Amino acid sequence: MPNVPRCATGACSVPSGDAAMSDAYALAIVGGGRMGEAIAAGLVASGVLAADRIVVAEPSEQRREVFVRQGIATVADGHEVAGAAEIVVLAVKPQVIDAVLAHMADEIAPGAVVVSIAVGVTTSRLEALLPAGTPVVRVMPNTPTMVGQGMAVISGGSAASAEHVERVRTLFEAVGETVVIGEQAQDAAAAISGSGPAYAAMFVDALARAGVRQGLSRDVAQALAIQTLRGTMELLSRTGMHPEELVDGVTSPGGTTIAAVEALEAGGLRSAVSDGVAAAVRRAKELSS
């Protein structure tokens, strides 16, 4: 594994007390946004990787400080560490991933696995920017990764072996659940699990606001909404119960729940969710073109 070059003044941040960055890392994350933070924090919290085995490349000094406070080394430019990691995670926006990868492609160490979490960006598109034979694995994680409850959808590219895919799956399994699927299903999966936390948070907020309208305090209404969703998801997960079965079990003839369910149906809840997922899939396809 090549050595990481010493950083020029102001170009590299290291955890307090460290004289210099480590010579090699298990993981380099290029892009220190919320998802990059979620992956790093989740891996460290789970004990899968020590903080000093991760390096993050992020141009924003303010964002770099977030990682430095966690004991994670940072650099300003992915070019500086692309050759010093066993796995390189591209956690940048789809609109800039081509330029970012073109800038650092020649530095990626032979045998390293390149992981992309950019929505809508195909493995073939990335492979065209990398040295021939570079294994690429496409992953769509989500933000609950930060608390060890993530959902990661994984697909291997043409040069990625089953072993490469398994290495990446093991990494993400440490911070949540994983599923390996064919890449043609990635956009649909991303529209559910990748974007899903936003839908769930919107529903929690809507439920809490409805409670406030009915006289509850915001704190009480939100606590009720969050715990009710948490408990319901756990119930569905543990029992394997179909959601409609749970709905039927809660509703009583002429009762309050059936009145609420009918109002939600009349308001178009199901069709609105379906339309939202379809819009996310369309946008992912636009980003891939």
In a domain, 161, yes or no: yes
Residue 183: other Cβ atoms inside 10 A? 17
Query: What is the mean pLDDT of the segment spanning 135-163?
Result: 94
pLDDT of residue 73: 94
Give the count of domains, the chain: 2
Instruction: Fill in the amino acid letter for 59.
Output: P
Same domain, 124 and 33: yes
pLDDT per position as a tens digit, 34-76: 889 989 988 998 888 999 999 999 999 999 999 999 999 999 9
Contacts of residue 49, Cβ cutoff 8 Å, sequence gap at least 6: 26, 27, 43
Q: What is the number of alpha carbons within 13 Å of residue 37 lying toward its C-beta?
A: 14
pLDDT at 9 over 60: no
Residue 281 belongs to domain with CATH number: 1.10.3730.10
Q: Which residue has the higher pLDDT, 22 or 283?
A: 283
Range from 4-8, 89-93, 168-172 carrying the lowest mean pLDDT: 4-8
Map residue 40 onto helix, strand or coil: helix
pLDDT at 100 over 70: yes
Percent helix, strand and coil across the chain, each to the nearest 5: 50, 15, 35
pLDDT per position as a tens digit, 247-287: 999 999 999 999 999 999 999 999 999 999 999 999 988 87
Same domain, 177 and 200: no
pLDDT per position as a tens digit, 181-213: 999 999 999 999 999 999 999 999 999 999 999
Tell which of 135, 153, 181 closes a domain: 181
pLDDT of residue 20: 38
pLDDT at 97 over 70: yes
The C-alpha atoms of residue 40 and residue 70 are separated, in whole angstroms, by: 9
Phi-psi region of 76 (alpha: psi -120 to 50; beta: other; left: phi over 0): alpha
In a domain, 77, yes or no: yes
Instruction: Fill in the amino acid letter for 107.
Output: E
Task: Report which of 22, 18, 19, 17 is spatially closest to residue 5, judged by C-alpha positions.
Answer: 22
Vertex 206 angle, CA 205 and 209, to 5°: 85
Its domain, for residue 206, covers: 196-288
Same domain, 154 and 223: no
Across the chain, what does the average pLDDT equal? 89
Q: Which residue has the higher pLDDT, 48 or 18?
A: 48
In a domain, 273, yes or no: yes
In a domain, 224, yes or no: yes
Tell which of 181, 205, 221 closes a domain: 181
pLDDT per position as a tens digit, 216-245: 999 999 999 999 999 999 999 999 999 999
Answer whether 0.75 is exceeded by the pTM.
yes
Query: What is the mean pLDDT of the segment spanning 165-169?
Result: 95
Same domain, 150 and 96: yes
pLDDT of residue 16: 34
Neighbour-count burial of 86, counting CB atoms closer than 10 A to its CB (0-12 exposed, 13-18 middle, 19+ buried) = middle
Tell which of 156, 181, 206 closes a domain: 181
* Cβ proximity of 67 and 37 under 8 Å: yes
Residues 207-233 as b or e (16 or more Cβ within 10 Å = b): bbeebeeeebeeeebbeebeeeeeeee
Query: What is the mean pLDDT of the segment spanning 126-142?
Result: 94
pLDDT of residue 3: 34
In a domain, 266, yes or no: yes
Map residue 225 onto helix, strand or coil: helix
Instruction: Identify the band that residue 22 occupies on the pLDDT scale cut at 50, 70 and 90.
Output: very low
* Cβ proximity of 54 and 43 under 8 Å: yes
In a domain, 105, yes or no: yes
Contacts of residue 214, Cβ cutoff 8 Å, sequence gap at least 6: none
Token pair for residue 36? 């990059």
Same domain, 168 and 212: no
Residue 109 belongs to domain with CATH number: 3.40.50.720
Query: What is the mean pLDDT of the segment spanning 107-129?
Result: 92
Same domain, 173 and 212: no
pLDDT of residue 23: 52
pLDDT at 12 over 80: no
Place of tokens 């408990």: 231
